[in-house]
A and B are shown apart, each in its own frame.
Chain A
Amino acid sequence: MTTYSAALIASLELIVGARWVKRRTTELVPYDSDGLPGYRAQPALAVFPGTRDEVVRVVRALAAAGVSFVPRGAGTGLSGGSLAEGIVVLGLNRLTRIMEIDAENRVAYVEPGVVNAKLSRAVAPYRLQYAPDPSSQTVCTIGGNVAENAGGPHCLKYGVTLNHVVALDIVLPNGETMRLGDPHGETDGYDLLGVFIGSEGCFGVATGVWIRLVPLPQSVRTILADFPSVDSAARAVSRIVATGIVPAALEMMDNPTIRAVEASIYAAGYPIDAAAILLCEVDGLTAGLGEDVATIEACCRASGARDVRIATTDEERTRLWQGRKKAFGAMGRIAPSLVVQDAVVPRTRLPEILGTISEIAQRHGVKVCNVFHAGDGNLHPNIPYDAADPDESARVHAAMSEIMLACIQAGGTITGEHGVGLDKLPYMSKLFTEESLSLMCAVRDAFDPNRRANPGKVVPIHSCREWHALPAARG
């Protein structure tokens, strides 16, 4: 365990107050893991600045001492990106102010610790919304969303975090501050804002986020279609996408997921004998929405849907969505641990890859629950298991590796919205050439030449080899 100089600790305590510097093992337990099961890594220290100015001063103190750190929001990340073994956790969840809502120009300026759903609630009176809606939106923070370039079901139509952030105030790992992008006008030069978003805390810390708000739709319709096979549901997805309608969301759940949800307190009234369901939402102007719903229903029926239901009340819609958004929680009933995987394939490869995943799962004797953003080919094959069982853990790990490789082979990618973190590091060299990876390292060095911000994540470089050996010790 790293021990820091008394001088550094004293200077951190002076900046944030002694109670916001956590050093005792018991105090650090909440920060030794994130949403990725099987990984536990105890930080040496956690510091929680209360203002933007304190963030800058803390980063400067860490820079002066040459100490590495990991920025952390709510810790809901699913790729191990916020693990900070033996180094400093820089917690940003005290920075929860929404500083400005400029409804006229449809922008908001918020601190990084603002909870995603809270921002949408705050702007709703102006008939505006913050569109990206990860399943963890009731707890995850905007800062974390920026770091991971988070997505969510409604990103099919509205785009991911990247498409909704217009500027960032950041502090570089060396303590210098900068504004990337422009809250109002356009920018020229390199798109540093674009490359910072999704940099998983490796490029510095966002202290202020300028959000582009979008109008709340006039009307919303939610469609639930029930299919006798995963294949027919996947065909319906292709048919819908080909019509030119861009649904707000187009989600698929397979039978194991449906059963898990229906057996839980989040039961949404899904047909438990369906092989797969599609949850499709269209929104926008009221005029024309009925036609879109009819077209989508026809696509589903033509693909073999047994039944198509259209939610007519807000309560019914909310219930249908709650089942989807809490599906991961519902799987918690099945086993003590859950790997929530994330990969993307070209949309036309969905039926084939779902077949492959099922075959891999059978071969390794693990249970896969698929619940995912079918409209953009973003898979979430999830495996409930017992992380305390070494044999089962090994089989889960082997199955996941094969699934990742199958997605790469299908022309896809290893993560659509959860990030690389630690979990996906081994696959980066299967996806990118050594030249591309070393260029990524060089870009990281442009922001953080000493590699002190979230070291060892995202790009497998020599300095992060030790992370590969991190034991699966949770559960």
Chain B
Amino acid sequence: MTTARLAAEATDELAARVRGAHAAHETLRVVGSGSWLDAGRPVTHHGEVSVAALSGVVEYTPGDLVLTVRAGTTLAAIAEITAEHGQWLALDPPGSAASTIGATIATATSGPLALGSGTVRDLVLGLSQIIGTGTRVQVGGRVVKNVAGFDLVRLATGSFGTLGVITEVSVRLHARPACDATFVVSHDEVEALLAITARLGHNTLAFGALEVLNPALAEAVGIGSGGAWVLLARAIGNPAAVQALRQSLAALADVCDADTQLWHALQKSDGDAATLRVSAPPAHIGRTVTQTQLAFANHATRLRVTPHRGTVRIAVPHAEPLPAVAWTTALASTLEQLSSHVHKVVGERLPSRVWRVLPATTVDPISRRIRDAFDPHRIMNRGIFGEHNA
């Protein structure tokens, strides 16, 4: 039997399973590769639906720079398929390369490459979905520009599976330019590195990625040197442009060249840490970093600062000597303290008790009605947004 045939059968089975669960008011947990199951709030569920069996390419015409794959296809597999044609899906969400594209879209998780290539939302063109009634729908398309009908692709992206199971996706690819170089600037003071990004001004946005790592994170990805903060910049383009970007940095600080593999190490650096993001207007990034540092002073916290977005991503590894309960309590109180100081706190992966500190997400009436339209019995990933009616 062909792969396509098997996939069609697996999709049919999945739809039947959801239909049955809908009829029985039975709650379901949607699972991709299962590598990030603790993302989002704890889900109450009777059963699981997995898209792991749904993998592989549905359609790939390299000249179109568009790839259609089944949702269970891993990011590693996509990287391999596209590299053969000198292309890539410019997405580097935190986590392992075994993460599925379906989960990446459902959680709308982007990484450093968002600076130059856009976020998940900018790269998804269309998808097929089994909604909470078991009905199959396709939204969007396979072309890079599309305004036919209401944009349900945007709704599915970042919906954490609450609107249905994504079974197939079409994403926008980029051709890989001639040069992809990584530069490193180290300094004892984070303020000095933020001052450099401020002085780069609009040129900051010409980089493919630009992040500032605290000493703990720099250490974890293998570029730590004596407790220094590290600015990591990635320049992607033709050799002359890449060289010019290097020079713009070199005019402000000592620059070292680094291997592009560094970004993979950064992607995989979370381990089992609790993770969240805080954000504020980019111009306030200095203050945001200070508040975050103050709040998490007592943990071996890893911080990744994205200056142009005004975001600090926080990863708190579980300190071994500390019992899990004490660790959770400390984290919750730290978070509470931080919440009153920064603009916005978004949890990624936190112990269930810590989630209670953060306000629930889907609370406005429009979102509730949308949920009802897709999943009237609220069987899909119930509770992942901390919904009131869970």
Q: Which residues of A contact B (CB under 8 A)?
A: 102, 104-106, 127, 148-149, 151, 155, 159-160, 162-163, 172, 178, 182, 184-192, 194-195, 197-199, 202, 214-215, 238, 241-246, 284-292, 295, 344-348, 373, 376-378, 411-420, 424, 428, 431-433, 435-437, 439-440, 442-447, 449, 458-459
Say yes or no: A288-B237 contact (C-beta < 8 A), given A151-B145, A245-B177, A443-B373.
Answer: yes
Interface-side segment among B76-84, B188-196, B202-210: B202-210
- A186 near B373: Cβ-Cβ < 8 Å: no
Contact of A416 among B145, B152, B344, B367 (CB under 8 A): B145
- Chain B, range 352-390, C-beta contacts under 8 Å to A: 361-364, 366-367, 369-374, 385
- Bound together, the chains give a CA A149 to CA B150 distance in angstroms of 11
Say yes or no: A195-B369 contact (C-beta < 8 A), given A288-B237, A373-B145.
Answer: no
User: Which of A284, A287, A416, A449 neighbours the largest number of chain B CB atoms within 10 Å of its CB?
Assistant: A287
User: Which of B64, B135, B203, B361 neighbours the largest number of chain A CB atoms within 10 Å of its CB?
Assistant: B64
Say yes or no: A439-B346 contact (C-beta < 8 A), given A244-B175, A344-B143, A420-B149.
Answer: no
User: Which of B118, B150, B372, B385 neighbours the largest number of chain A CB atoms within 10 Å of its CB?
Assistant: B150
- Bound together, the chains give a CA A344 to CA B239 distance in angstroms of 33
Q: Which chain A residue has the least Cβ–Cβ distance from B385?
A: A189
User: How many residues does chain B have at the interface if contact means C-beta atoms less than 8 Å apart?
Assistant: 78
Measured between beta carbons, the chain A residues less than 8 angstroms from B157 are 191, 194
Measured between beta carbons, the chain B residues less than 8 angstroms from A436 are 137-139, 149, 152
Say yes or no: A440-B136 contact (C-beta < 8 A), given A244-B176, A413-B141.
Answer: no
- B150 near A186: Cβ-Cβ < 8 Å: no
Secondary structure at the A interface, as helix, strand, loop or mixed, is: loop
Measured between beta carbons, the chain A residues less than 8 angstroms from B329 are none
Measured between beta carbons, the chain B residues less than 8 angstroms from A415 are 146-148
Measured between beta carbons, the chain A residues less than 8 angstroms from B145 are 151, 155, 160, 344, 373, 376-378, 416-417
- Bound together, the chains give a CA A155 to CA B61 distance in angstroms of 22
Residue B66 at the chain A interface, CB threshold 8 Å: yes
Q: Which chain B residue has the least Cβ–Cβ distance from A377?
A: B143
Measured between beta carbons, the chain A residues less than 8 angstroms from B239 are 288, 291
- B240 near A287: Cβ-Cβ < 8 Å: yes
Say yes or no: A198-B147 contact (C-beta < 8 A), given A435-B135, A439-B137.
Answer: yes
Measured between beta carbons, the chain B residues less than 8 angstroms from A446 are 366, 369-370, 372-373
Say yes or no: A459-B149 contact (C-beta < 8 A), given A184-B279, A344-B143.
Answer: yes
Measured between beta carbons, the chain A residues less than 8 angstroms from B240 are 287-288, 290-291
Residue B283 at the chain A interface, CB threshold 8 Å: yes
4 additional contacts (CB under 8 A) given A288-B242, A344-B141, A373-B145:
A160-B145, A191-B154, A424-B148, A439-B152
- Bound together, the chains give a CA A186 to CA B361 distance in angstroms of 13
Measured between beta carbons, the chain A residues less than 8 angstroms from B367 are 189-190, 192
- Chain B, range 258-294, C-beta contacts under 8 Å to A: 277, 279-283
- Bound together, the chains give a CA A459 to CA B361 distance in angstroms of 29
Give the distance to chain B from A163, nearest Cβ to Cβ, in Å: 6
- Chain B, range 107-159, C-beta contacts under 8 Å to A: 108, 118, 121-122, 131, 135-139, 141-152, 154-155, 157-159
- Bound together, the chains give a CA A437 to CA B152 distance in angstroms of 10
Say yes or no: A346-B344 contact (C-beta < 8 A), given A186-B311, A439-B152.
Answer: no
Measured between beta carbons, the chain A residues less than 8 angstroms from B206 are 284-285
Say yes or no: A186-B137 contact (C-beta < 8 A), given A244-B178, A418-B147, A446-B369.
Answer: no
Query: Can you give 26 A-B contacts (C-beta < 8 A)?
Result: A155-B145, A159-B118, A182-B344, A186-B344, A188-B346, A189-B363, A189-B367, A190-B371, A192-B367, A194-B154, A238-B63, A244-B177, A244-B178, A285-B203, A285-B245, A286-B244, A288-B240, A344-B143, A373-B145, A411-B141, A428-B148, A433-B138, A437-B149, A440-B152, A443-B155, A443-B373
- A149 near B143: Cβ-Cβ < 8 Å: no
- A345 near B178: Cβ-Cβ < 8 Å: no
Contact of A163 among B122, B309, B310, B344 (CB under 8 A): B122
- Bound together, the chains give a CA A271 to CA B367 distance in angstroms of 54
- Bound together, the chains give a CA A284 to CA B237 distance in angstroms of 11
Measured between beta carbons, the chain B residues less than 8 angstroms from A102 are 281
- Bound together, the chains give a CA A215 to CA B201 distance in angstroms of 9
Measured between beta carbons, the chain A residues less than 8 angstroms from B148 are 413-415, 420, 424, 428, 431-432
- A458 near B149: Cβ-Cβ < 8 Å: yes
- Bound together, the chains give a CA A242 to CA B243 distance in angstroms of 22
Measured between beta carbons, the chain A residues less than 8 angstroms from B364 are 178, 189, 192
- A189 near B362: Cβ-Cβ < 8 Å: yes
- A287 near B244: Cβ-Cβ < 8 Å: yes
- Bound together, the chains give a CA A463 to CA B50 distance in angstroms of 39
- B310 near A185: Cβ-Cβ < 8 Å: yes
Measured between beta carbons, the chain B residues less than 8 angstroms from A290 are 240
